[in-house]
Amino acid sequence: MKTFRTNGAVGALLDEYEKAVLELQEVIKPISNEDLIKKINEETKHPDFVSIQSILTHVVRAGHWYVFEVRTYLGEKIEFERPTHLDSAAAYHEALSKMFVSNVQLFEDHPYISIDEHDVEKKIKTKWGQQYDIEQLFEHAIVHILRHRRQIERYLSRIDKSLKVR
């Protein structure tokens, strides 16, 4: 039987965020170091999407960035450390776990945080121009992982098909 967090909407967000992280970790578990760094998207000019390695670095960085944005919004003075490329799926598995723990820690440090905000002027303005309250930002964080998990699954499907053709 699954254990659910009991702290209301925050608990629901964290449960679903954790589920998304765990699903991504399962998808990347069998990826070889060779496939991790293989260029898989010839069409993109965006450096975050050329390999599974770059996608995972992007996902880990974004997960830490959400925490940074909320802590800054709450008035904390913190530095943002940009994650670097890692050399194995196991290393990304660990990095994703640490990233998720930092998100949980945010809510443990601020147990009475108000996650919804209706005043547009008081919302968090993201670097891509959207304005979110904390709840919306974490809903975005969950879907962000789901989208990139799907992207990686599609790439792995192509790799698998090319191996079968040989």
Angle at 155 between CA 151 and CA 160, to 5 degrees: 145
What is the H or E stretch that residue 162 is in?
helix 134-165
Other beta carbons within 10 angstroms of residue 60's beta carbon come to 20
pLDDT digits (tens, 9 = 90+) for 42-63: 777 777 888 999 999 999 999 9
Q: Write down the pLDDT at residue 1.
A: 61
- Please, what is the average pLDDT of the chain? 91
Please give the structure tokens belonging to residue 54.
């770059």
Q: Write down the pLDDT at residue 162.
A: 56
Kindly tell me the sign of the dihedral angle through the C-alpha atoms of 105, 16, 63, 131. negative
Q: How many residues does the chain have?
A: 166
Q: Write down the pLDDT at residue 160.
A: 67
Domains of the chain, start order: 8-165 (1.20.120.450)
Q: Write down the pLDDT at residue 13.
A: 96
Burial of 53 (C-beta count, 10 Å sphere; 0-12/13-18/19+): buried
Q: Write down the pLDDT at residue 165.
A: 40
C-alpha span between 138 and 50 (Å, rounded) = 26
Q: Write down the pLDDT at residue 5.
A: 82
pLDDT digits (tens, 9 = 90+) for 84-94: 899 999 999 99
Low-confidence ranges of the chain (pLDDT < 70): 1, 160-166
